[in-house]
A and B are shown apart, each in its own frame.
Chain A
Amino acid sequence: MSDRPTDELERWLAAEQAEAIDEADALFAVVARRHLPLLQEPAGLAAAILSSLPRTKRSRWTLAILSVGVPRWARATVAAAVAVLGLALATLSLGQLIEFSAWSVEALARAASGAVAALAAAAGVGSAAIALLGDLGRAAMVVAGSGAAPTLIAANVVVASLAFLGLFRLLSPREEFS
C-alpha cells in the first residue's frame, strides 16, 4: 500500500464512481480506519459513570422512594410536622404520655367503630339497590311479555323530552332587555 494518504482515497473514489459498491465499501473501510479515528472520550468519563452507579439494590430502592414526585414544600411540611410532634412528645412526662396513649387508643376505637358503622350502612344501601334493580328487571320482563313495551318506551321518551325542555327553560339565564 502506498504511503500517500490520498492514494487510498482515490482508489475508494474510483470504486464509488464505478458503482462497485462492495469494493467501495471495503476501500472506504480502509480510509476510515486510517483517517477517521474514534473521538476520544473526555477524561474522567468512566469515573463519572461509576460514581453515578447506585451502591446496592437497597439504596436504589430507597432512592426510588425518595424520588417520588412530591413537591419540596410538601416534603418540608411533613418533615416539620414530624419534628414538632417529636419535640412535643419529648416534653411530655411519663404520666401525660400514658394518658395521651390511652386517649389515642380510645380515639382509635371510636374511629374503627365509625368505620364499621359506615361500612354496614353502605352494605344496606347496596342491598336495597340490588333489590330495586331486581324488581325493575322483573317489571321489565312482565311489560315485555305483555306486548305493550313499544308504547311504554315511546311514552317514556316523550315524558323525558318534556322534562328536559322544561328544565332547560327554567334553568337558562334570562335575556336582558335592551
Chain B
Amino acid sequence: MTDAQLVERALAGSQDAFAALVARHQRSVYNLLARMLRNPALAEELAQESFLKAYTHLRRFNPEYKFANWVLRIAHNAAIDVLRQRGLRMVSMDDPDTAEQRPIEETVVDPRSDEAERRLERRDLSQVLGAALDELRPEYRRAVVLRYQQDLGYEEISAITGDPVGTVKSHLHRARVEMAVFLKKRGFVQPGADGTRRNG
C-alpha cells in the first residue's frame, strides 16, 4: 500500500494506517533529527512531536507531495526551531564508546584473517565518516543526510530546507570537501592513493 493510500485511510480515521506510516518513516525522521541535533534524547522527543504534528495536520497534507518529504520537512523545521532556541551541547552520534554495542559477529572472526581486517576497516570507516559528518556545519550536515542517506534530489532537499537549489548543491560540495579533508587528516587514505596534491 502506498503512502498516499495510507494517508487517505488515516484521514478516514484509521490509526492503524497512521501506525504503518510511522513504522515506515520513523527511522528517516529520527536519523535526520539526531544528525542535525546530535542529541539522541532530544531527537527522540522531536520525532514524537513531528509525527504528532503530522497527524493533527494531516488534512493540510498535499497528496501531490511525498509524505516522507512532508514529515521530514516538519521534523527539519522543529529541529531548526530548537537549534535557534537552545545552545545545545552536541555529542557525537558515532562515539567510539558505542562501538561496543555492535553485533557480536563482528567480534568473533579470526583476528588474523583478511576478512577480519576488512571488517575492522569498514567499521572504522563508518565511525570516521560519522564523525566527519558530525563535524560539519548544521546546514551542510542536513544536506548530506537528505542527499546521501535519504537519496533525495536537489529540488526535494530545497523544498524541505527552504534553501535554493544552487545553495543546496554548494552545501553538498563543500560538505564533501570538508569530509574528505577530515578523512585525510586521520590518515584514512594511503599517501598518493587518491592522487591529491600535498602541501610541501
Alpha-carbon distance A60/B184, docked complex (angstroms): 54
Interface assignment of B138: CB less than 8 Å from any CB of chain A: no
Residue in B15, B47, B183 whose CB lies within 8 Å of A9? B183
* A79 contacts chain B at the CB level, 8 A cutoff: no
User: What string of 1s and 0s marks CB contacts (under 8 Å) between B91-127 and chain A?
Assistant: 0010000000000000000000000001001100110
Q: Give residues in A with beta carbon < 8 Å to B.
A: 3-6, 9-10, 12-14, 16-18, 21, 24-25, 28-29, 31-42, 45-46, 48-50, 52-54, 60
B19 and A45 contacting across the interface, CB-CB below 8 Å: no
Interface SS majority for chain A: helix
Q: How many residues of B contact A (CB 8 A)?
A: 49
Q: Indicate which residue in A6, A13, A16 contacts B125 across the interface (CB closer than 8 Å).
A: A6
Residue in A closest to B133 when the chains form the complex, CB atoms: A36
24 contacts between A and B (CB under 8 A): A6-B189, A10-B189, A12-B180, A13-B184, A24-B176, A28-B148, A28-B176, A29-B147, A31-B129, A32-B149, A35-B129, A36-B129, A36-B148, A36-B149, A38-B27, A38-B28, A39-B27, A40-B27, A46-B23, A48-B44, A49-B22, A50-B19, A54-B55, A60-B56
Find chain B residues with CB under 8 A from A53 CB: 15, 18, 52, 55
